[in-house]
Amino acid sequence: IDADFERLPSIFYASDKKGVKLIEREYEIRKRYELPVELLNKGELHKRYKMRTYAGALLNRQSAQLDAYKAATLLFRYHIKKDHLQIFTHTKITSCEETPQGCRLKTKDDRTIRCKYVIVAAGFEAGQFLPEKVMKLTSTYALISHPIDNKDLWPEHSLIWETAEPYIYVRTSGNRIIIGGEDEDFNNPEARDELLREKTEKLEKKFHTLLPSVPFKAEMTWCGTFSTTKDGLPFIGTWPGTERIFFDLGYGGNGITFSMVGAQIISNLLQGKEDERKDVFGFGRIC
């Protein structure tokens, strides 16, 4: 499956004094546990990556990126052919309950689905199947540039993000640049969309401040909604007191990684294998 997977370094830079302390502490922790990391000062960042920052940064060479949407759709196609996977799109589930025999789901057109187990992996829309609110909705903004000559991009095409909140992130997609961030608490889609022009200008300005030698002209801009949790971790597993309805909710801004962890944990539990990570990511930490 070719989902444009690409190994790239990542740079996590300090936006201010608070950020300096954060990356210094993060550096110490990573070194203590023998994780690969370099600590770069402000001068090294500018010399090696053309970046103008308040202070230094952490450099990690074990990072990567892929097209998550492309990966998901290609995986579906693979298992439709290999394992006869059935997919029912545009099927709205209005209720999901556990019974002594398994699970029973109702659809919008009043059909009933019965099965042994259910796995809910629907992002923030999964909230309707939970007895309590466990996440906060956040609006986020992004833009992608017109094609840029490779020689004008920063060396190694590193993934870039900062310590500030709200933060910005920068990465490449082929010979285009994607910038995102400027998150806001979600109110409603209309209020979110009305901020798009203002947020686009702010993101462009921050990019030009960070990488002044790199040309950037936005071709497309958009905004969306995602979920965050108080501790930044996802929720994986069953709600306390239930056994058959599993949740794989990669909240916290690291959905690709957390969703993979969730797939491993839930797969183990369905096969009767113990997985100690279920306690780290489970609902028990808030119940």
Q: Is the pLDDT of residue 226 over 90?
A: no
Task: Give residue 187's pLDDT.
Answer: 72
Task: Give residue 18's pLDDT.
Answer: 94
Query: Of all residues in the chain, what percent carry a pLDDT higher than 70?
Result: 100
Q: Is the pLDDT of residue 252 over 80?
A: no
Q: Which domains does the chain have, with CATH numbers?
A: 6-67+136-228 (3.30.9.10), 117-135+232-285 (no CATH)
Tell me which residue has tokens 């300005």.
Answer: 205
Nearest to 72 by CA among 268, 255, 283: 255
Confidence of residue 168 (pLDDT cuts 50, 70, 90): very high
216: Cα within 13 Å, side-chain hemisphere? 26
d(CA 55, CA 164): 13
Give residue 262's Cα distance to chain centre: 13
Helix or strand or coil: residue 130? coil
Tokens representing residue 50 in the block: 């053309």
Residues ≥6 apart with Cβ < 8 Å to 269: 237, 246, 275, 278
Q: In what order do the strands lie in the sheet with 218-228?
A: 38-40, 57-60, 10-13, 159-162, 168-173, 176-185, 136-145, 218-228
Task: Give residue 165's pLDDT.
Answer: 85
Q: Is the pLDDT of residue 257 over 90?
A: no
Q: Is the pLDDT of residue 41 over 90?
A: yes
pLDDT greater at residue 243 or residue 165: 243
